[in-house]
Amino acid sequence: MPTTRDSTKASDLTTLMNVGRAVAGYLQRAGITEVHQLAGRDPVDIYDNICTVDGRRHDPCLLDTIMSAVDQANGNPARPWWSYTPTRKQMLGENHR
C-alpha cells in the first residue's frame, strides 16, 4: 500500500501534461519520483531503463510521453504526447521497439 510520501511524489509527476498515475508508476520504477529529476535527462535512456526493469519492450507511445514530460521539465511549454511521435520516428526509425 503506498505511503503518503509516495502519493505526494506521484502527484508531483502528475502535474505534468500527459503524466497520469500509470505513467508516473513507470517513471517511479526507473527511479524518477519528482519532476526536477526529468530535467536534462535523455528520454530514450529513461524509456530503455523502464523496459529493462519491466523485462519487456513497451509501446513506443510511452517514449513519446516521456519525451513530452522531459521537455516540460526542461521549462518548455506543455504539448500533447502525440506531437512528439514524428520526432521519435525520425530519431529512432519507424520500427524501433
Per-residue pLDDT tens for 7-63? Answer: 444 559 999 999 999 999 999 999 999 999 999 999 999 999 999 999 999 999 999
Q: Cβ(14)–Cβ(21) under 8 Å?
A: yes
pTM for the model: 0.85
CB proximity list for 14: less than 8 A, separation 6 or greater: 20, 21, 24
Q: Which tens digit of pLDDT belongs to each residue from 68-89?
A: 999 999 999 999 999 999 999 9
For residue 68, the model assigns a pLDDT of: 98
**What whole-number distance in Å separates Cα of residue 52 and Cα of residue 65?**
18
Look up residue 56 and give its three cell numbers: 519487456
